[in-house]
Amino acid sequence: MLIFVLFALTACGGIAATGEAAGEALIDEEESSLTYILPPPNTDGELSVESALENRRSQRDFRDKALSVDQLSQILWAAYGITSPRPDTPGLRGGLRTAPSAGALYPLEVYAIVGNVDGIEPGAYKYISEEHKIVMAASGDVRDSLADAAFSQSMVSEAPAAIFYSAIFSRTTERYGERGRHFVYIELGHSAQNVYLQAEALKLGTCAIGTVTESVKEILNLPEDEDPLYLMPIGYFE
């Protein structure tokens, strides 16, 4: 079951609290943001990796059909979810993930762009892989604005949801210098291919869009240190 809670806004810094039992609401009194705790991902699907590889194609025409929260959860986990929790290693920010990362520095940030997903209010949400949850970054249906930022590619407006990637390059360049930027782009490719294959396994389609204008930073309320990289609309295809 999907559980969501509207974070309470307080005038002073609060104390974060979590429910001890699975399924209880998570409350953070330090800020006001709509948060959804996602259902756990399935790690034993019916489609083989080989079949997903054989059938994977970019899809650009999407049906007007809602995604389920389980599908969104699965796609986000495939993109950058935790596969080996390491709570005692703070530098990993949760643990090892579905995509390999140079130095396990994980410079990518992943967003769910929600337009038509059952049970989730439209908006742009940052994926918090450590807790497998999404936190609202921008309210309202931003798909048309994102389509404009992607040079008027209508598939962004038509798809019920999308995955958006940004990167904090300094996480990698502080260790590897300028060649660390190259490592970030390689990591993006690893993660995006995961999304392609997971979409195929769910009988969904996607198409990677590698060019967006800087206006996307304002549309999604991206922090200054995040650089926009990639957009992948996702949905049932024609």
pLDDT one-digit tens code per residue, 64-85: 999 999 999 999 999 999 999 9
Report if residue 11 sits inside a domain: no
Q: What is the pLDDT of residues 102-128, one digit of tens each?
A: 999 999 999 999 999 999 999 999 999
Q: Which residue has the higher pLDDT, 222 or 9?
A: 222
| Mean per-residue pLDDT, 125-132 | 96
Report if residue 179 sits inside a domain: yes
Contact 37, 135 (CB under 8 A): no
Confidence of residue 1 (pLDDT cuts 50, 70, 90): very low
Q: What CA–CA distance (Å, rounded) separates 129 from 94?
A: 7
Q: What CA–CA distance (Å, rounded) separates 159 from 61?
A: 8
CATH number of the domain at 71, please.
3.40.109.10
H or E stretch including 113?
strand 108-114
Report if residue 19 sits inside a domain: no
Report if residue 13 sits inside a domain: no
DSSP-assigned states of every residue in 61-102: -B-S-PBPHHHHHHHHHHHH-EEEE-TT-GGGTTEEESS--G
Give how far Cα 11 sits from Cα of 31, 32, 34, Å: 9, 11, 18
Contact 136, 125 (CB under 8 A): yes
Confidence of residue 7 (pLDDT cuts 50, 70, 90): very low
Report if residue 3 sits inside a domain: no
Q: What CA–CA distance (Å, rounded) separates 146 from 190?
A: 23
Q: What is the pLDDT of residues 52-62, one digit of tens each?
A: 999 999 999 99
Does the predicted model carry a pTM greater than 0.85?
yes
Contact 39, 60 (CB under 8 A): no
Report if residue 31 sits inside a domain: no
Report if residue 26 sits inside a domain: no
Contact 16, 38 (CB under 8 A): no
What pLDDT shows up at residue 32? 63
Report if residue 225 sits inside a domain: yes
Q: Using alpha carbons only, what angle is made at residue 77 by residues 234 and 138, rounded to the nearest 5 degrees?
A: 60
Lowest-pLDDT range, 17-31, 78-92, 151-165? Answer: 17-31
Counted domains in the chain: 1
Domain range for 211: 40-235
